[in-house]
Every structure is written in structure tokens, then in C-alpha cells.
Amino acid sequence: MVSWLSALRDTPGVTLNTEEKLLADFQRDSHPDKVCLAGREYLGENGQPIVNPLIKKIKQQIATDPTLIPEYPPPLGIPEFTSRAAQLALGRDSRAIVENRVLGVQAVGSTGAVRLGAELLKRCSSWAGHVLLSSPCDESLPGIFEAAGIETVKRHRYWDARNRKVCVEEMVEDLEKAPEQSVVVLSASGHCPTGADLSQDEWKRVTEILVKRQLLPFFLLPAQGLHSRDIDEDSWPLRYCVSLGMEVLCAQSFSHNFNLYGERVAHLLCVLKENTDLVAIQSQAEKIVQTLWSRPPVEGARVVTTVLSNPAHMVEWQEGLKGTVERCTLTKERLREKMRLLGSRVAWENLMKSGGLYCCIGLSVQQVEFLVKQRHVYLLPGGCFNVSAINSSNLDYVAESLHLTLTSQL
């Protein structure tokens, strides 16, 4: 008798991604000083995911609200949630919103938002069928587009590991050569996994290429407000493209900035040139959603809606974001100082310029392997790591481990 599950297990290519494998290896590691810098959650000084008191309070209020009826939401999500999410991304006075050129769809996690966007793209008859991702990028992205039946998924250069910075010239060169009407997936802020973003002037250069080559930007907005402490600044690249009259897609996630890791709250934003196309796009989105998740979960979306609908909550929420960013900035400063005291010759400028959850210090494969196997410090390829995972308990050990790695003859 054929064992279908065994056949699936043995299928070539069905493996854990790098992050999942690192986390699994970390769990099995019995070393007393082991440190995991590869996770996705924002962690506090105690090493546990940060819980914003406001979010905790609102969740408790929702759970005990007798007026809330347990019913399915519409396929495209809670209308007020999609409206507030669009305003957060584009600004309340966005011309696209005023002209009714924006479609918002509540999605199941950021991966769901990207998948829905990919499915919509596949149905565009005029599209060339090419997708460009940054190198490096979140490991899940290629598979999401491929699962939607998009075969031509390529990379454009983004991160210069040797000089520890965004290689803007190479990125522009690659976009210049991209086939017209390609889709370019871009991180609006908090690039994963490097934490390195373009300046506004650099964004303007990239946008010129997008317009000239008729390239469609597909923005990722994974943690608005947790890069620069300013929700408007973190969405500036998206808003700039929209202000030029460009069509855009944007996958918003609310896991990090609302501490809703288990609720999978996300949103796909579609900004069109003409509102005459809105009904047709909405109809397509509804059909696709019915085959993906039918109806999105409601609890997390209710939390986000409650915050974004209340000015006092908005102020308190943004203060919480600032506190998280300030802790990460202080952590980077302390790490840089520890490295200086240990005699590091690296200036670590990129460490302080990085934003969001991640930072990348440009390590070789051998150096990363040394950290994992010899020092039990788990981090992503290239030396990319979760800044918030460093705290007072492991700072000295992490700094010493990095110093040993950089000074060893590997």
C-alpha cells in the first residue's frame, strides 16, 4: 500500500527554511550560554516577546464585550479595519483614498497578503509575468509567488555584504535591465533581513526607473512605526509613489507593531489609477479569497481597528512603538561600544544606520558557521540578526563571540 505521507516527506526540496532550521537546532542545543538571534519577534529585556499594555487591555475588553456577536466577517474583511489600515499606510488625506481608487483586503498574515497580490497579478492580461525580489530577501517570498503559478521570479542586487550597505548603483542597474511591466517587490522600511533601507533621495532615483520602465512596485510594510519611530516616515516610499499617480500593491503586517504574532493580522492594499477598475478588482479578490481562506479571523483585526479609530489610543500606541525603537537603538549602541572595547577595527556604522528588527554585519558562511557551532550563537546567513534578542544577560557573550569570529583565521 502506498504511503502518501512518507512520499511527501521524502520529496526532494521539501525542507525547513533557514530560520526554522536554526530555531530547531537552537531548541536541541544544551549549551548554557546559547543565544538565538534568528527569531522574528520583538523581544524585551527579559528575552520574551514585548506586550504593549494598551494592546493587552483592548484584547481583554473585546473578550468580555457582550455586544460583540460571534459571526463571520465579509470575505474581504472588516470594512472599518481595511479603511483604517489604508489610512495608516497612505495617510488620512491621501488623494487616492479621496478619489476612491484604493481597495483594501484583510489577509491572513503577511504571507497571505503577498499570496493574494500574486494571485491578482496572475490574472492581469497585460502583465509580463516577471517578479524581481531583492537579494537577500525573506526566504518565504520566492515560494509564495511560485505557489501562485508565477514561474519567472528573479533577483535584483540590494545588499553589499563587503561594505555593509545597500548597493544602490547595482540595484538601479538591475532595474534598468528588467523587462518592462515587471513587478518589483520593495521593502518600504525595515528591510528583511538586513535592516538597511534607501534614503528618500535614493528612493526618488529608484522611482524614476519604475516609472520609465513601467515597473509595478509591490511594497512590503512589515512593521510601520518600528523603523524610524514615525509611522508617516516609515511609509514615505509608498506614499511618494502613490503621489505620482502610480499603481501599487502593498502588503501590510500588524504582527510586530501591534504585538499580535498569533492573530495573523495583515492587509493587502491595491492603489489603482482609475476608480472605474475598482469593482472588477474587488470581484476578482473575492473569488481568490474564497479559495485561499474564505473569511479572515476577526479578533486581531478588531484590536487594530480599535486603536486606529481612537485618537487617545493612537497616541499611546505610538509611544509604545517609540519605546521599542529606543531600546533597540540603545542595544546597538551598547554592542558597538563593547566591540570597540574588545579592540574591533570595524566602525560599525551600518549597525547604527539599520532600522527595524534586523541588522546585518556582513559575515561569511564560515564565520556564521563558527558562531553557531563553536559559540552557540544562532544567526541568519550573512550575519543578519534580530537586534532585540540581545539583552543585558547575553550582550557580553554576543560581543565576545563576534569579536572572536572577526579575528579568527577561518
Q: What's the mean per-residue pLDDT of the chain?
A: 89
Res. 321: pLDDT tops 50: yes
Q: Residue 132: in which H helix or E strand, if any?
A: strand 130-135
What does the block give as the cell for 116? 493574494
Cβ atoms of 209 and 156 within 8 Å: the answer is no
Burial of 264-278, coded b for 16+ CB within 10 Å and e otherwise, reads bbbbbbbbbeeeeee
Res. 325: pLDDT tops 50: yes
**What is the pLDDT averaged over residues 55-64?**
91
What does the block give as the cell for 248? 501599487
Res. 377: pLDDT tops 90: yes
How many angstroms separate the CA atoms of 324 and 321, rounded? 5
Q: Which has the minimum average pLDDT: 4-8, 84-88, 276-280, 351-355? A: 4-8
- Place 14 in a pLDDT band, splitting at 50, 70 and 90: very low
**What is the pLDDT averaged over residues 158-173?**
91
Nearest to 174 by CA among 159, 189, 190, 195: 159
Output the pLDDT for position 161.
85
**What is the pLDDT averaged over residues 360-380?**
91
Res. 208: pLDDT tops 90: yes
pLDDT of 262-292, one tens digit each? 899 999 999 999 889 899 999 999 999 999 9
Res. 13: pLDDT tops 50: no
Measuring CA to CA, how many Å separate 62 from each of 243, 260, 282, 299?
37, 14, 29, 8
Output the pLDDT for position 197.
92
Burial of 34-66, coded b for 16+ CB within 10 Å and e otherwise, reads bbbbbbbbbbeeeeebbebebbeebbeeeeeee
Output the pLDDT for position 187.
94
Architecture field, domain 72-310: 3-Layer(aba) Sandwich (3.40)
**What is the pLDDT averaged over residues 77-84?**
95
Output the pLDDT for position 245.
93
Output the pLDDT for position 121.
92
Nearest to 256 by CA among 133, 139, 358: 358
**What is the pLDDT averaged over residues 149-171?**
91
Residue with cell 541568519: 380
Cis status, amide bond into 32, omega within 30 of 0: no
- Phi and psi based region of residue 155 (left: phi greater than 0; alpha: psi -120 to 50; beta: remaining): beta
pLDDT of 187-204, one tens digit each? 999 888 888 899 999 999
**What are the domain boundaries of the chain?**
16-52+322-407, 72-310
Output the pLDDT for position 355.
77
Res. 393: pLDDT tops 80: yes
φ/ψ of 235, rounded to 5, equals -105, 10
What does the block give as the cell for 246? 502610480
**What is the pLDDT averaged over residues 362-383?**
91
- Place 15 in a pLDDT band, splitting at 50, 70 and 90: very low
- Place 7 in a pLDDT band, splitting at 50, 70 and 90: low
Strand partners, 135: 157
Cβ atoms of 275 and 308 within 8 Å: the answer is no
Res. 397: pLDDT tops 50: yes
**What is the pLDDT averaged over residues 216-232?**
92
How far is Cα of residue 219 from the mean position of the Cα atoms in its chain? 10
pLDDT of 286-316, one tens digit each? 999 999 999 999 999 999 999 999 999 999 9
Nearest to 76 by CA among 306, 301, 310, 309: 301
| Amino acid code (one letter) for 407 | T
pLDDT of 100-133, one tens digit each? 999 999 999 999 999 999 999 998 866 768 999 9
**Which homologous superfamily is 16-52+322-407 in?**
Aspartate Aminotransferase, domain 1 (3.90.1150.10)
Measuring CA to CA, how many Å separate 255 from each of 55, 252, 301?
12, 9, 11
Res. 17: pLDDT tops 90: no
CA angle 117, 360, 162 (to 5 degrees): 110
